[in-house]
């Protein structure tokens, strides 16, 4: 495959991280900023799915639970249980195709959704 601008992986990562260090994210008192993540079981280990919510401002865990599946209904239940759907929320997620619809259903117009830049970077390089 030919790239428009051929660069090594380390060059792309260095440019990405240098750019990110210069960015400032203004924290608003009026919006709850959280990271949502899933971990999948490894072969031979506990066959549970770990769903996690982290507070972006305090960098503390909001919720961290194990589930038998990670269906859309399970994710909705987890989010409803741990976040106030009546308050504005900024959520960072991986590239799961279900996330935009799930989040929009729960939070409606009070939602700002962004995909995780680390996951984007993994898809690029």
> Of residues 96 and 104, which shows the higher confidence score?
104
> Of residues 59 and 82, which shows the higher confidence score?
82
pLDDT for 30 equals 80
pLDDT for 5 equals 59
- Domain membership of residue 53 (yes or no) is yes
- Domain membership of residue 74 (yes or no) is yes
- Domain membership of residue 2 (yes or no) is no
Three-class HEC string of 36-97: EEEECCCCCCCCCEEEEEEECCCCCEEEEEEECCCCHHHHHHHHHHHCCCCCCEEEEECCCC
Cβ atoms of 65 and 53 closer than 8 Å: no
Number of domains in the chain: 1
- Domain membership of residue 35 (yes or no) is yes
pLDDT for 116 equals 78
pTM: 0.71
The percentage of residues in the chain with a pLDDT greater than 90, rounded to a whole number, is 42
Looking up residue 103, the CATH number of its domain turns out to be 3.30.420.10
Instruction: Show the domain range for 85.
Output: 27-124
């Amino acid at each position: 495959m030919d790239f428009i601008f051929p660069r090594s992986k380390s060059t792309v990562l260095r440019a990405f991280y240098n750019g990110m260090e210069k960015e400032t994210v203004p924290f608003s008192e009026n919006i709850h900023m959280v990271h949502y993540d899933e971990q999948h079981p490894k072969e031979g280990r506990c066959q549970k799915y770990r769903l996690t919510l982290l507070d972006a401002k305090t960098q503390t865990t909001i919720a961290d639970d194990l589930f038998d599946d990670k269906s859309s209904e399970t994710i909705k239940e987890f989010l409803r249980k741990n976040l106030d759907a009546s308050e504005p929320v900024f959520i960072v997620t991986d590239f799961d195709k279900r996330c935009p619809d799930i989040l929009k259903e729960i939070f409606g117009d009070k939602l700002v959704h962004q995909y995780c830049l680390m996951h984007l970077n993994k898809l690029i390089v």
